[in-house]
Amino acid sequence: MYDACSGRKELLEIVEETKQLHTRERSVTLESVSLIGELERRNAAVNLSMTSAQFAVHIGLTPNQYWKRAQAARLIRFHPEAQKLLESGETQVSHLALIAPKITQANSELLLDGIKHKSKRRGRASIVGRYKVSPRRQSSAGGSDI
C-alpha cells in the first residue's frame, strides 16, 4: 500500500539532493570559467601551438563552450559583480557571453539587471532592443553562439 507521508518525504529528499547538485554544478562551472580566463590571459592555445578550436577540444569542451566561458571570464574580470550573479544562479554563462561585447562601466548595471532570471530568448531580446546586436549570429563552429 502506498504511504503518502513517506512518499512525500522521499520526494522532498530528492528535491533537496537536486538543489545541492545544481549548487555544485554552478560552482564547477564558475571554476571552469575562472581557469579558462587564466588560460586566455596566458595565451595557452598559441603557446601550445593550437588554434583555439583545437585547444577547446583538447581540454574537453566544444569551441562554442570554450568561447562563451572565455567571454564570461573577461566580463567577470572587469565587472566582478557578474560573478555573484553566476554564483547565485541568477544568470548563466551564455547570458554573460551575450552582453560581453557591449558592456561598459556606464551600462553594466543596466545590462546585468537585464539578464537576471531570464531565458536566453528574453535576455537576447532585452539586449537587442537596447543595442545593435545581431539577434542570432553563427559561430565559426557552426552552432549558435548564444
Of the CA atoms within 13 Å of residue 85, those in its CB half-sphere come to: 24
71 domain-assigned: yes
Question: d(Cα 116, Cα 87) in Å, to the nearest integer?
Answer: 12
Lowest mean pLDDT among 26-30, 42-46, 68-72, 139-143: 139-143
Question: d(Cα 79, Cα 98) in Å, to the nearest integer?
Answer: 14
Task: Determine the structural domain holding residue 72 and report its residue range.
Answer: 9-130
58 domain-assigned: yes
Q: How confident is residue 96, by pLDDT bands cut at 50, 70 and 90? A: very high
Report how many domains make up the chain: 1
144 domain-assigned: no
121 domain-assigned: yes
Terminal CA-CA length for the chain: 49
Mean pLDDT of the chain: 87
Q: pLDDT tens-digit profile of 22-43?
A: 999 999 999 999 999 999 999 9
Q: How confident is residue 145, by pLDDT bands cut at 50, 70 and 90? A: very low
3 domain-assigned: no
Average the pLDDT over 86-112 and give the result.
94
146 domain-assigned: no
Lowest mean pLDDT among 47-51, 115-119, 124-128, 141-145: 141-145
47 domain-assigned: yes
